[in-house]
């Protein structure tokens, strides 16, 4: 199953609802293109909802990091919402959990953007 | 399909992402039948996936003339997976530590780290040309054959 992206706006924050797998190949490319498109359109408050992400590999982790740095370098913020147990474990193992701003509640996450 | 005690399967595959998916799926099946729990099975499958990604992408560089060999063996004590490529060779000691502060925001370089995190033993062997990774996970006690 490849990754799917649905985009919505909440109070000036762009929320990407991701589902499926973020792995080498299609999933990683889809995420990269989605974030690149948002930055090109001037959207700099980005919240990735990972609730429906069933699987992520090292390439997918790398893509999350690249998205984070791309948005940051463009003067924006990228945050994560609703990590599954598995994805949370992976981010903790790789010491990335504290790099990302991670939220479990969408309303709070949206409010947290300056 | 492997049985639950001892079995062995060897696959010779093209250097493609479809082969990576096949190897990952086979690892999942072997791990489940070897008696690993539902948290451990996906970790084993991920480690094997990462090894096969290294083989087809970094080792064989998607060269259609080069093959990846994947073997799966269940012994009474462990699950042993070997992934071999025909690439120029890999020095695991030369791979930067992905947990080092200067590397933490790199967009790649976490595959071998995850393999080591999820398996009990990882061995690299230079096969001139190519690299063979041996991944070992000890079976939980109380399984058939253990």
**How does pLDDT run across A16-73, given as a tens digit for each residue?**
999 999 998 778 889 999 999 999 999 999 999 999 998 899 999 999 999 999 999 9
Asked, for residue B17, whether it belongs to a domain, the answer is: yes
Asked, for residue B70, whether it belongs to a domain, the answer is: yes
Q: State the best of A1, A22, A24 to mutate against chain B, taking most chain B CBs within 10 Å.
A: A24
Domains in chain A: boundaries: 4-111
How far A52 CA sits from the closest chain B CA (Å)? 17
Q: By CA distance, what is B115's nearest residue in A?
A: A58
Asked, for residue B143, whether it belongs to a domain, the answer is: no
- Which residue among A57, A65, A68 sits closest to B46, beta carbon to beta carbon? A57
pLDDT attached to residue A28 = 85
Mean pLDDT of chain A: 94
Asked, for residue B52, whether it belongs to a domain, the answer is: yes
Interface of A with B (CB under 8 A): 23-25, 55, 57-59, 61-63, 65-66, 68-69, 86, 90, 93-96, 99
- Which residue among A25, A62, A90 sits closest to B107, beta carbon to beta carbon? A62
State chain B's maximal CA–CA distance in angstroms.
Answer: 46
Quote the number of domains for chain B. 1
How far A74 CA sits from the closest chain B CA (Å)? 16
* Boundaries of domain holding B119: 7-138
Two tokens, residue A83: 């990590």
CB contact under 8 A, B104 and A55: no
pLDDT attached to residue B90 = 87
Which among A40, A43, A56 is positioned nearest to A88, based on CA atoms?
A: A56
Asked, for residue B146, whether it belongs to a domain, the answer is: no
Helix A58-73 to helix B111-118 angle, to the nearest 10 degrees?
A: 130
Which among B88, B72, B81 is positioned nearest to B47, based on CA atoms?
A: B81
- Which residue among A23, A61, A99 sits closest to B110, beta carbon to beta carbon? A61
pLDDT one digit per residue (tens) for chain B, 146 residues: 555 567 899 999 999 999 999 999 999 999 999 999 999 999 999 999 999 999 999 999 999 999 999 999 999 999 999 999 999 998 888 899 999 999 999 999 999 999 999 999 999 999 999 999 999 999 988 765 55
Print burial letters for A16-27: b (CB count within 10 Å at least 16), e (below 16). Answer: bbbbbbbbbbeb
CB contact under 8 A, B114 and A62: no
Q: Does domain A4-111 have CATH number 3.50.50.60?
A: no
What are the distances in angstroms from CA A32 to CA A28, A73, B102, B137? Answer: 6, 15, 23, 34
| Eight-class DSSP state of A104 | S
Asked, for residue B82, whether it belongs to a domain, the answer is: yes
Asked, for residue B54, whether it belongs to a domain, the answer is: yes
User: pTM of this prediction?
Assistant: 0.91
pLDDT attached to residue B5 = 63
What kind and span of H or E run contains A78? strand A77-81
Asked, for residue B104, whether it belongs to a domain, the answer is: yes
How far A34 CA sits from the closest chain B CA (Å)? 17
CB B109 within 8 A of CB B96: yes
Q: What are phi and psi of A42, to 5 degrees?
A: 90, 5
């Amino acid at each position: 199953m490849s990754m799917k992206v649905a985009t919505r706006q909440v109070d000036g924050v762009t929320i990407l609802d991701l589902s499926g797998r973020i792995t080498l190949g299609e999933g990683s490319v889809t995420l990269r293109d989605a974030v690149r498109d948002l930055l090109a359109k001037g959207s700099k408050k980005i919240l990735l909802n990972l609730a429906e992400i069933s699987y992520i590999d090292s390439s997918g982790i790398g893509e999350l990091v690249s998205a984070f740095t791309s948005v940051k370098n463009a003067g924006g913020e990228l945050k994560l919402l609703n990590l599954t147990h598995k994805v949370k474990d992976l981010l903790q193992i790789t010491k990335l959990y504290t790099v990302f701003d991670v939220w479990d509640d969408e309303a709070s996450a949206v409010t947290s953007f300056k | 399909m492997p049985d639950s005690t001892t079995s062995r399967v060897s696959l010779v595959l093209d250097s493609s992402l479809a082969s990576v998916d096949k190897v990952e799926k086979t690892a999942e099946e072997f791990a489940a039948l070897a008696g690993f729990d539902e948290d451990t099975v996906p970790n084993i499958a991920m480690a094997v996936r990462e090894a096969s990604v290294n083989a087809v992408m970094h080792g064989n560089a998607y060269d259609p003339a080069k093959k990846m060999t994947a073997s799966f063996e269940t012994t009474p004590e462990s699950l042993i997976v070997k992934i071999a490529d025909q690439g120029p060779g890999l020095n695991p000691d030369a791979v930067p530590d992905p947990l080092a502060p200067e590397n933490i925001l790199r967009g790649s370089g976490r595959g071998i780290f995850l393999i080591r995190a999820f398996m009990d033993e990882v061995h690299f062997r230079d096969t001139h040309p190519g690299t063979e990774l041996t991944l070992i996970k000890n079976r939980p006690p109380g399984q058939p054959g253990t």
